[in-house]
Every structure is written in C-alpha cells, then in structure tokens.
Structure 1
Amino acid sequence: MVLPPKVITIEANFLDAREHDFYNAIYTQSVAQFGSYVESGTLLNNYAHILDLLTRLRQAINHPYLVLHSKREIAARADAPVTTGGAVCGLCFEDADDAVLSACGHTFCRGCMQDYIASIAANAATLCPTCRQPLSVELSAPKAGAGEADDGYRATTSAGVTSMGHARRGILSRLDLARFQSSTKIEALMEEVHLMRERDPSAKAIVFSQFVSFLDLLEHRLVRSGVRVVKLNGGMSAGAREVCISAFKEDPDVRVILISLKAGGVALNLTVATHIYLMDPWWNPAAEYQAIDRAHRLGQHKPIRAVRFVVRNTVEERILRLQDKKRLVFEGTVGGDAASLSQLSEEDLRFLFQN
C-alpha cells in the first residue's frame, strides 16, 4: 500500500529583543563554562553538566519561563535544595515524567535517562548526572496498568474547552497567569494552528516537545484561544493514556494532542491527525522521524504536513546541521549504526558550543 504524500517544512523565526537578550546571556555563560572544561581537559568527565548547559539553552529558546520558573532556578534564588512539589528530574530539572530512580538514589525522567545513556560518547564514562558515581538504573518499561489506581489525571471543562492534564499544574502553578507573556515559538505554533483550521475545519494536529513544562505553556495558550486539546505525558497510567488518546481520535471538537517526545515517539497510532508540529529539534534525526510516523503510517489516507520549528541564530540551527551530518554518516555506513545517531561525541559538543 502506498502512503499519501508527506511534506516536511522548517518554520524558522527570530527571537524578539527580550528573548534574544535572555538567550544571549545564558549562551555566553554556557560557552564560558564549556571552555573551562576544554581548557582543563575534563570535557568528557563533565558530560552530564554539558548536557545540562545544552538543555538550558534549548529551554530558553522555547520560552524564558522554562528557565526562570524552573524548580531549580526558584530553589537557587532561595538558596534551598530542589525538594518541593514532588520528584524533579536531575537532567531536565522538570517534574520527573515517568520517573526512574538510580541506585545512588537520584530521580530522572525515564525518557531523559534513556536519551542521556544513548547520547554518551563511546569513550566517556557512564556516571550519574547528579552525583557522578558510576550509574546503575533500571529502565525497563513499567508493567501495563501500573499506577492505575492513582493516576493523578483528570478531565476538566472550562468555557467549553476540554483539557486533559496531570492533577499537578507544574510550571503554571508558579506563574502569575494574569500577566502571562507568550513567546516566539508559541505564537509561531498558534499561527500554524490557525491556518490549519482555516484550510480544513476538521483537521487535527499532534504537537511534540521534549519539555513537559513547555507543553503546559502551549496548553495554556491554546486553551485561552479556544482550541480544545488533550495532553499525553510519559507518567500516565494505561487507563489515563487510553482516555486521552480516545478523546483525540473520537471527539471531533478535540483538535490538538500535546505529546512529550519522551512518551510519544513510538507505539502510537494517530492517523486521525494530518498535521505534526515539532517544537524543538533533537540531534538524533530518528527521534523526529518516529514522531512524524505516528500519523504517516498504514491507515493514513490524507497528505501529511509536518513543521519543524527552529529559531535562527541559536544553537537550534547547529542542531539541525548536526542532524544532517549524522544522517549522512549513517546513510554512508555499511549496515548503518543506529546508536551513532543518538551519541554526542566530543567533536559534536565542540561544534554545538563553538563561539
């Protein structure tokens, strides 16, 4: 069976002056820190710290709130440990999504830890990102139905807008929503969703991000504009996950599903959607292909439009170039080493942080 056509485009934007100044401040600090590791010859020994620098840059591009109102930042301003509101991932510093615990007692999102281990260069030690002890962690998927009795999710209806989310409000509980400011990335998505609805009033879209807190901000902005959404995170029980997916597939008024790339890259069939929006690029191009294939697969009868959102003059452009390089190396290697797509070598890191 021949699948309908798939068109993938890049939506490139520039940060506004406020966002640009904020990003540049973090970028300058990050490059200086990276340079200190290079000068001391400890680059690969500080692999987890470097990934942390990269995460903060990527969050700053999506929205300054993701840095300013992260639990880590709030705790730092209060000179206190990050302890409030449940377990916090030691890699992305958001509330742990589908949490796993290392043998040394530190918590991480399952997806973050999987990505961390996959990205470690062959000649780098696998250490706990938090305490730098040799890493031991169980990453096998939880049994189906785990957490069913207390999944913590609910459906709410407000002003005719349906939303599905975790009982905890995450970053939104730390914001003054009456003074909420959007971002370049968020408004770019809003424009795309508006155009989608104009072209086809029945069309549905999948929105992917690697940051759960960013999905929370997107949900707030979409709901405020009258778009009905559901949200899928990695920590949902099997029952809550099924309710969310069924609502997206079967309710004609639910137009958008927000999915954590940590949770939704594989094992989902969402052919009801014809638009896919990838909010933040990942250096492993296979992760984005898998996300797009949630809609472009057997059972899809309409053309697919996928949009990759990128901000110019930021590390995201370098991530795209790194994707291209990895793709060419993979395609030119006999047998193709899929693991190499996920790994970040010392050369890759130097490229991402070059000044």
Structure 2
Amino acid sequence: MIPLFDYQRQWRERQSEIMDTIQRVLNSGQLILGAEGRAFEGAMANLIGMDHAVGVNSGTDALVLALRVLGVKPGDGVITVPNTAVPTAAAIRLCGARPVFVDVEPDTLLMDVEQLKKLNTQGCKAIIPVHLHGLMVDMDPLLAFARARGLAVIEDCAQALGSFYKGRPAGSFGAISCFSFYPTKNLGAYGDGGLCTTRDAGLAKALRQQRMYGFDETPIAQVDGLNSRLDELQAGILNLKLKYFDADMQKRQSLAQRYLEKLDGRRLQLPTRPAGRTHSWHIFAVRSPFRQELKEKLAARDIITGVHYATPLHRMPAYQDLGYEAGDLPVAEKAAAELLSLPLFPEFTHEEQDKVIDTLHEALPR
C-alpha cells in the first residue's frame, strides 16, 4: 500500500531522538509553558523573520486568537475563500463574526484580488488569505486592497511553512499570521499544535494573554480569554523536527519536480508556480474532470490519494445561512470537483512515486 501520508516512517527513522526528547520533557517537571515552548517560539520567530511567535493549541485556535486580538466582534465580516479547510471559517464563526467568501484565481486557486474589488466590504473588519497547498497568495495587491479599506490581514499559513513570496516567507506579511502543526503538515507534531507570528509587541502580549484565560502577570483575568497553549511535549518534538526541516523541504521539492517532469504532457492539469513564488508542496494536487476514475484506478494499484476539498465551504450545511447558492463562486466550485491529491511526503520513495506515475500514464495516454 502506498499511503497519501505516513508519519510512522519518520517516527521509525527518528524514534531514538524523539523518545529522548519526550523523556527530557517529562523529567523537567514542566509540561505547560516551559523552556521547550519558549525555545520553539524563538526558533519559529527566527525562521519566519518576525519579532514574536506565540505557541497555541492548534491552527484553529491560532486563527481564533488572531481575530480576537485584532478586534473582530460579533457581526463583523471577515473575508476569506471557500476552498479551504473548515477551520478557516469555523474560527470566524467562533468569534461571532460572519465569513464573507470571495472566489479564487483559475490557475492558482488562490484568493482573486480582482474578485475582491467587486465585494461590498462595508462591515468587514479583516481578511484571511489562505496559502493553499504550499503556494502563497499574490500578497502585494492583496495588502494594497486591505490597506485601502482598513482591513486587518491575517495570513492562514497552515499549509505554507517553507513557502516564499518575492523572497519573503509565509507568515511575514500579516498583522498576525497563523500556523498549524497538525501531523500531516510540513512541520508536524504528534498531535495538535499551532502558532501565531507578529511584529507587534502589543499584539504578541495580547495573544499570550488570550491563550491563558486572559491573565496578566498574575492569575487574574483582565479580558475574556481561552485555554489554548502549545504543550511542552509537542513543542519539544517540534524543536527536534526543526533541525530536519530544510532537508525535508528539499525532499519535497525534489519529489514535486519529478511529478512535474514525468506527468507533463498528460491530460492532467498540474500545479502552477507563478514567478516570484516558492512552492513548499504541502500537497501535490492535480486537476482532472475524470477525478473519480483516476482515483479508482490508483486505488486498484494500492495507491491512496486524497481530495482537498471536495465541498466548498459555502455549499456546506453549516454555512447555508450565509445565503450563497450553487454557482456563486464558480471557480472554486469547479476546482472542488476536479482536484486530486497525490502522495508526497519526505519519506516517499522514488520507486513508490514511479508506480504512481506509471499508473497515471496508463490511465491518461498522451
């Protein structure tokens, strides 16, 4: 069986180091908000080139806390895209705010600034560009749009650690940027984990206050807060994995390049890579109107594939009250019916990849 993702391969390779890390954390006597978390926050701030990083419980909570400290209130509109994971919209709802969806570009499937210009942004407080699959949104025009309308920018970088736009890393553009360390991510924990980055010391302080019940330096709640802390075990594991991050990214780049070269010319729409952007290949998603047929042929050869995301958010029952209809966001809707995610992770072998490629060649002659 060729999996879409397999954390156990990495676990077997690094088991001794990981167990040493777990033992060190357990022997420290500090399981929450200790030295491991502080070290990881510092390392992530350096990696992204930001002044502050704040570890939290999950990528979802990172978005919730970012929205809260940026002043998003019940009834406010928050602009985002429909072709993203549910947590992007769920975080908006958890703040009592209203998701406002905008369609995406036909080639990149990222937030379309030209479509943004057609939106009525009255009542909107923030905008969440989602860097999809490892490719960053065209940030210069998006930031100009946001500045002109007084919108706070929150980068959703859950799929984009290791991505770059004009030489700057994902997470270095937003007032606050949000990361997930769900196990499948480019830097994955062995459970949930998240992080916010910012240049603003005041926002960083507010984020730390929010993640700890609204406490200040004393255990007295100054504001309504949450319990959302990155625990020391996950922080320790992530610290360990950071030393392998560059090598793992090189493997992703190499595997993606093999797909691009060996699948070129087939009746398959391959991922695009606009000039000035470095793809981090969290997901290698191809497009075909014959997705289900391809998925079944690959499955018959014991190759597991995925679909990210089969139903756009505006077509899900939870968001029907927003009033969107089928056809309102046609680019995202069409892509949702065609995208197929192929196996790609650092431990994926060339032999396995060749089996995937050969199966697609058989299914898709020139």
What TM-score does the superposition give when structure 2 sets the normalisation length? Answer: 0.28
